[in-house]
Chains A and B, each alone.
Chain A
Amino acid sequence: MRGAFGAKLALARGVGALSRLSGRGGGTTLPGRLLLRMAPEAIPRLGAGLSAGSVIVSATNGKTTTAGMIAAAMRAVGRRPVHNRAGSNMSWGVATALLEQRGDEGLFEVDEAWLPRIAADLDPRLIVLGNLFRDQLDRYGELERLADEWATLVAARIGATEFAICADDPLVADLGRDGDLARRPGVTYFGIDDPGQALPELQHAFDAKHCRRCGAPYSYERAFVGHLGHYSCPSCGADRPPPDVAATAIQLDGMRGSELAVRTPAGEVELRLPLPGLYNVYNALAALTAALRLEVPLEPAARALESMKAVFGRVETIDVEGKTVFILLIKNPAGANEVLRTLLLESGQGGASDGLDLWIALNDRIADGRDVSWVWDADFELLAPHVRRVVCAGTRAPEMAVRLKYAGMPPSVIEVEESISRSLDRALADAGGRLFALPTYTALLELRELLAKRGLASRYWT
């Protein structure tokens, strides 16, 4: 049987190589799709070959960045995990990475809905659970149901798998405790302990209003990102678990990133994170927690985070025609709100005193979510007074434009051009020194392809 499986592996690898040669795409899914069609058992079989085990990262927001940070920490101590680093995080993306990379341990970001299945296939040593926000309701269904599926998964794997869990998200934090609120074995919590970073008020898209246990409304002392914060249930007492790894002091510095003081079981550490926003602070805390569980010492792990480059489409910076283009993926209300808050910090700086130049590309393909309703849950109002010009692109560009108009941006600053390429040219021609590009997921892929054609960015991420 090994021979037959080996032949299937060789065929799938060959197809991947051909696909790249023909320049038809990134090849991060096709070989895996083919392999799984020929050999549905490929993931457990190849996964079993990872002698040092594997790590899975799942969350609505921050999977790619968190996994990238964990990879950086592992590389800092000479470890080279097999890793689906281009954000292709359903079964075929995992299969492609397993097929095309060699190593003795695995690091996989996994789509929230695919997590139970891929966890069963890989039998991971550690699972990192970041957050659950409303996202692509046409694909995932209701958030509560996803949380229930995760709860079943965690309960079943306790003892076999360790968990790093965000204490500040009640939807996921509660999964690390049993019926008596006692922490389950192998669970480590991370969270933010700096009250100075609290939002002035709770946001519109607020996804955890009721206690998972008893249904009573949570009482929030403060929130940091969406519904992530310090909460308690006045009825059954299910409050935020005390985090083991906590950011105790945070200084945000616009697009440049932040400075953090972090308390961990392995001691305290200060670091300068080169990625912006509180959402990346959460990603860094998740990564540090995971690194410690994976026996990467604190010091090299922290230094590795300091030298992080942006991962695929998450605050990448590219020079185009003498202008700096900042690429920030937006895909759901909570993630978009963090991007908008970060842009707000930039609005008065770096020659942008007369306002920000934006390019926003709203696509409605399957990987974006076909339902674009979510743009009305994101707080574009924040940016309204700070925009000089905005070009709306993508398959649903006009709906984005209407959203911005009703957020308070004058129609005279809004332009609609659905074509990714023409709209980018228009935005670049009008922009000052900096252009902030906010694409949804498939618009990001199109943008990268376009920039690659122009020789400005590498085409392939595998």
Chain B
Amino acid sequence: MELRVVALYPEQMNIYADRGNILFLQRRCEWRGIQFSYDASGPGEPLDAAAHDLIYLGGGQDRDQRIVAGDMVSTKRQALAEAVSDGAVVLAVCGGYQLLGQSYELGDERIEGLGLADLETVREPGPRLIGNVEIEIDLGDGPTRLAGFENHGGRTYLGEGARPLGRVIRGFGNNGKDGLEGVRRENMIGTYLHGPLLPKNAWLADRLIELALARRLGSPPDLAPLDDSLESAAHQSAHRAALRG
């Protein structure tokens, strides 16, 4: 078994220690004897939709995000659309999540996004939405909670055809108003829980590994259980932080 992961623009989109997610996936595969391969796809580089099981897109600063948005629309949109339709796992976090939509506002500019999800990100008066956050989601294996941290100026609104990733228990979520968080389409997930969210939610990491491998194997693999006592404690710690606000 092999999990083939590609990170899009890791040099530009890594502002909240996004590499923690990749490392977390890598170790959890290695400890189970699952081969792990990692690629990076940067500016100007085409993407082969069939060559990857899990596609990761992190968050960036405004300047980097602007560079990435234009490049990604022109060099990777087609391949990403094919990969999503074909059931590839996509995890897009924070700025990467915003890029999935039709468009987002950056300062006074309206920047075209990938259009892979029916959502728009706009600026509104008011402070950045910053803080610990907890949401409830269901990825087909029952409801469960994700805990993390969010820090975004943009407010995201889902269109009619879009399904949220989950609902907000604590924190702001997409816009601080409608109680929704993130987006989900097939195995594509976008979320404002930024940076290393997998290390705080080991369950999600394993679920993504399962979904990604199931697409190649035709059925979900049995993942060997790991000793997750530290990981569970970390989830509890992030959960308590969200309760504190």
Contacts and interface: CB of A to CB of B under 8 A. Distances in A.
B24 A406 contact: yes
Nearest to B12: A209
A364 B241 contact: yes
Interface stretch (B33-41, B45-53, B57-65): B57-65
A399 B67 contact: no
A396 B242 CA distance: 12
A403 B128 contact: no
Interface stretch (A18-26, A139-147, A220-228, A448-456): A139-147
Contacts of B131: 138, 370
Interface stretch (B80-88, B108-116, B193-201): B193-201
Contact of A411 (B12, B149, B196, B227): B227
A372 B199 CA distance: 12
B162 interface: no
Contacts, number: 98
A375 B237 contact: no
Contacts of A204: 14, 19
B224 interface: no
A333 B17 contact: yes
A142 B196 contact: no
Contact of B233 (A206, A375, A398): A398
B38 to A, nearest CB: 14
Most buried by B among A134, A141, A377, A405: A377
Interface residues of B, number: 37
B236 A373 contact: no
B23 A406 contact: yes
Interface in B154-208: 194-196, 199-200
A143 B61 contact: yes
Contacts of A5: none
Given A142-B62, A204-B19, A416-B230, A398 B237 contact: yes
B2 interface: no
B1 interface: no
Report, as a range, how many residues of chain A touch the other chain. 35 or more
Contacts of A414: 230
A402 interface: yes
Given A137-B151, A371-B16, A402-B199, A411 B230 contact: yes
A402 B62 contact: no
A414 B234 CA distance: 13
A209 B14 CA distance: 12
The 5 closest A-B pairs by CB, nearest first: A376-B20, A373-B195, A398-B233, A376-B17, A377-B17
B233 A416 contact: yes
Nearest to B149: A371
B20 A144 contact: no
B233 A144 contact: no
Contacts of B24: 406
A401 interface: yes
Given A377-B17, A377-B19, A402-B234, A142 B199 contact: no
